[in-house]
Structure 1
Amino acid sequence: MSQILEAPTFKWSFLHPKYFHTWIGVSLMFLISWLPYRVLRLLGQKFGLLIMHFLKNRRNIAERNLQLCFPEMTVGERKVMLKENSKHIGLALFETCMAWFWPDWRIKKHVKYIGFEQLDAIKAKKKGVLIIAVHSLNLELGARAFGTHTSGFGVYRANSNPVYDWIQYRGRTQDNGAIDRFDVKRMVKILREGGLLWYAPDHDYGCHRYAWAPLFAVEKACTTTGTHLLASAGKADVMTFTITRDRKGTGYTLTLDPPMAAFPYNDEAAAATYTNKFIERSILRAPEQYMWLHRRFKSRPEGERSLYE
C-alpha cells in the first residue's frame, strides 16, 4: 500500500507564547467533547445562531446561493432555511470536538450505517473506490465515523498554524490515512491498489482542470474534472457518501450509495455533469445541513459578471 502523507510532528517551538491562544482553544475543544451529546447539540445550535448574527457577509453569500440554486423558493422559505443552516454551522464546530476527541465506541453509539455492506464485494474484486462526499456541515464527524467502520484515505490540506495543523492531523487520522491534496499520483496509486479515497468535488476550485456543468438551477457551475481523472486513471468504482443529522436530535445516518452505474470514464465534461447530479442528490437529503456559506459560483465564464454582485 502507498505511504500516507508524512505526519506533522511535535516541536518544542509549539510551546512558544505566540501559540498559547491555539493551545487554549484546543483545550477548550477537548473539554467541550466531554459534555453529553444532547447538551452539545443544544449549545451548538445556540452558538450557530449567535455567530451568524455577526457574520453578515457569510449570511448574504448563503442567501444568494439559495436564490441561485432554488429560484422557486419563497422569501419565507429561504428565511427558515437560513435560520436552520445557522444552527448547523454552530453544530459543526461542536462536532469537530466530537470527531477529534471522542473514542470510537462513542462515535458508533450515535451513528447508523446504511449501504456499507457493499464494500465487501468491491474489496473482493480488489478494486479501488472513489468516495464522493459533499461539504456538509457535519463532514468532519462523517469522516471520523466512516473510519470507525471502514478506513480509507482523505485528501488533506495543511493548516498554516503548525500547532493547529499537528492537532488537526492527529484528529483526522485516528482511523483514516491522509494524502496531500496536490499528490494526485499517490491518490491514483491507492485506488489502483484497491484502496478507498475520499474526495469532495462540490466546491468551486477555480478555473484549473474544470468544466462548466449544471448544478441545480445554475447552468454553468465551475466543476473540477478531478473526479474523472481519479476514477479513470485509478480504474475505480465511484460511490457517493452522505452524512445527515437526525432531525429528532438522536444521532446521525451515514449512507453509502451503490456505485455509479453509468459513470462516463471516457468523457471528463460528461463526468462533471454526471457527478453534479449525484452531488445534488446528496445535498437534497438535508439541504439545511449543507455549507451554503461558500461562494460556490464565484468563477464565471469569460465576459460574464459575478453572480454575487
Structure 2
Amino acid sequence: MARQSYPQSFWHPLYWPTWLGFAFVWCCAHLPWPVKRGLGKAIGLLLLKVAGRRRHITEVNVRLCFPDKTSAQQQQLVRDIFIANGIGLLETATAWFRSPDYLRPITSIRGAEHLQHALDQGKGAIIIGIHFSTLDLAGAINKLYFDIDTFYRKHDNPLFEAIMTRSRKQIYGAAIDRKDLKAALKRIKSGRAIWYSPDQDFGREVSVFAPFFGIQAASINMTSRLAKMTGCAVVPLAVSRQDNGHYQLEYFPALEQFPSDDAVADATKVNAFIEYAIRRHPEQYMWMHRRFKTRPEGEEGFY
C-alpha cells in the first residue's frame, strides 16, 4: 500500500493491526532473556517450516558459500541460521523497547580504541556494519560506548515509521535516509561516525562486482565514495552473540590505503572483512536475502 493512501489519524482502524503487532513486540521485549531466547528459537524453527521461499534462498546461499560442507552439515547450518534469526527478532524487540542501559550487564567491547582513534582525527568515520541477526540490538549496545549515526530505510506505514523513529532516537544521534547523501556527508564532515552496512545487493547501477566467498557479487561502492568525499576513516565492526548469552562488539583497525582509485579493489577489501566476520559465526548472518541476485553479464541467476 502506498504511503499516501494511509489515513492521517493513527487511531483509524487501518492501523489497529499495527498497534496490536507492536503491543505484542513490546511484551516480548520485557520477557526474561531465557524466555526470549526460547521463544526466538521456536519462531525460527517455525519459519524454517513455513517460509519456503526464504528457506530456499538460505539453502542456495549456504551451498554457494560453504561448498566444503557435506549436505548434512549444510542443512544443519540452515537450521541454525533460522534459529539465530528467530532469536534476532526478539533481540530487535528488545532494542526497540528497552533502554540501552538494560543491556549493559551482558555486553562487552573490544577494539574501541580503533574507532576512538579515527574520531580523534576530526574527520568522522564510517563504521562497516554487517547484517547479522543481532543488527538492531547491536545499535543499542553500541550506544553504551559511542554516539553514532546510522542510515535507514523509511517504512511505508506512517505509524510503523513513527514508532521506529522513536526507537532510533534513543539509539542513534541521527537516522539518515539511505538516499540522502548530502545529509550523510554533512554529518561525517562534522566529525560524526555513521553506521553503514554495505553487504547487500542493491543492483548493477550502484555496484561493482567483487569476490565474496569466492563468488563475484554485486557490491555497493558507496563506502569508498563517502570516504573519498570526506577523507574519513573506515572502521570495521563485528557483533556476535556469545554462547553464554552475552554480546560482544569488536572494532577493528581502520582499513589501510582506503579508499583507492580502484573501486573493485576497495569493494574487495570491504567484502574480505565481511566474509571474515561471517565465517566466525556463520549461523548468525542474515542469509535469507538474495546476496548474489545480480549476476555478471551472461551468467544465469542462482535463485
* TM bracket, shorter-chain basis: over 0.9
2:69 counterpart of 1:73: yes
Q: TM-score, normalised by structure 2?
A: 0.94
Amino acid at match of 1:294: H
Amino acid at match of 1:155: F
Match of 2:193 among 193, 196, 204: 196
2:271 counterpart of 1:288: no
1:254 is matched with: 249
Provide the C-alpha distance between the structure 2 equivalents of 1:188 and 1:105, rounded to a whole number of angstroms: 30
1:155 is matched with: 151
Distance apart, 1:233 and its partner CA: 0.8
Q: Deviations over 1:198-253 (max 9, x none)?
A: 111100001122111000121x21111111101111211011111111123x2111
2:211 is matched with: 214
3-state SS of 1:241 partner: strand
Moved more, 207-216 or 187-196: 187-196
Does the 8 A contact of 2:66 with 2:74 survive in 1?
no
Distance apart, 1:118 and its partner CA: 3.0
Provide the C-alpha distance between the structure 2 equivalents of 1:103 and 1:264, rounded to a whole number of angstroms: 36
2:264 counterpart of 1:269: yes
Which segments of 5 or more consecutive residues in structure 1 lack a partner in the other structure? 1-10
Q: TM-score, normalised by structure 1?
A: 0.92
Provide the C-alpha distance between the structure 2 equivalents of 1:12 and 1:148, rounded to a whole number of angstroms: 36
Provide the C-alpha distance between the structure 1 equivalents of 2:201 and 2:116, rounded to a whole number of angstroms: 33
Amino acid at match of 1:18: L
Match of 1:89 among 56, 62, 85: 85
Does the 8 A contact of 1:232 with 1:266 survive in 2?
no
Provide the C-alpha distance between the structure 2 equivalents of 1:83 and 1:305, rounded to a whole number of angstroms: 27
Amino acid at match of 2:44: G
Provide the C-alpha distance between the structure 2 equivalents of 1:121 and 1:271, rounded to a whole number of angstroms: 22
2:117 is matched with: 121
Does the 8 A contact of 2:150 with 2:194 survive in 1?
yes
Does the 8 A contact of 1:148 with 1:175 survive in 2?
no
Provide the C-alpha distance between the structure 2 equivalents of 1:12 and 1:34, rounded to a whole number of angstroms: 30
1:53 is matched with: 49
Amino acid at match of 1:184: L
2:216 counterpart of 1:185: no
Distance apart, 1:285 and its partner CA: 2.0
2:162 counterpart of 1:166: yes
Does the 8 A contact of 2:125 with 2:193 survive in 1?
yes
Provide the C-alpha distance between the structure 2 equivalents of 1:32 and 1:49, rounded to a whole number of angstroms: 18
Q: Deviations over 1:136-170 (max 9, x none)?
A: 11101011111232111110101111111111121
Provide the C-alpha distance between the structure 2 equivalents of 1:193 and 1:100, rounded to a whole number of angstroms: 27
Provide the C-alpha distance between the structure 1 equivalents of 2:28 and 2:164, rounded to a whole number of angstroms: 16
Provide the C-alpha distance between the structure 1 equivalents of 2:62 and 2:210, rounded to a whole number of angstroms: 18
Does the 8 A contact of 1:225 with 1:272 survive in 2?
yes
Provide the C-alpha distance between the structure 1 equivalents of 2:140 and 2:90, rounded to a whole number of angstroms: 14
3-state SS of 1:214 partner: strand
Q: Deviations over 1:176-218 (max 9, x none)?
A: 1101111112212222221101111100001122111000121
How much identity, in percent, do the aligned residues show?
36
Provide the C-alpha distance between the structure 1 equivalents of 2:140 and 2:205, rounded to a whole number of angstroms: 30
Provide the C-alpha distance between the structure 2 equivalents of 1:47 and 1:112, rounded to a whole number of angstroms: 27
Provide the C-alpha distance between the structure 2 equivalents of 1:31 and 1:86, rounded to a whole number of angstroms: 22
Amino acid at match of 2:180: D
3-state SS of 1:222 partner: strand
Aligned length: 296
Provide the C-alpha distance between the structure 2 equivalents of 1:203 and 1:223, rounded to a whole number of angstroms: 7
Which segments of 5 or more consecutive residues in structure 2 lack a partner in the other structure? 1-6
Moved more, 40-49 or 262-271: 262-271
Match of 2:33 among 18, 28, 37: 37
Provide the C-alpha distance between the structure 2 equivalents of 1:147 and 1:184, rounded to a whole number of angstroms: 23
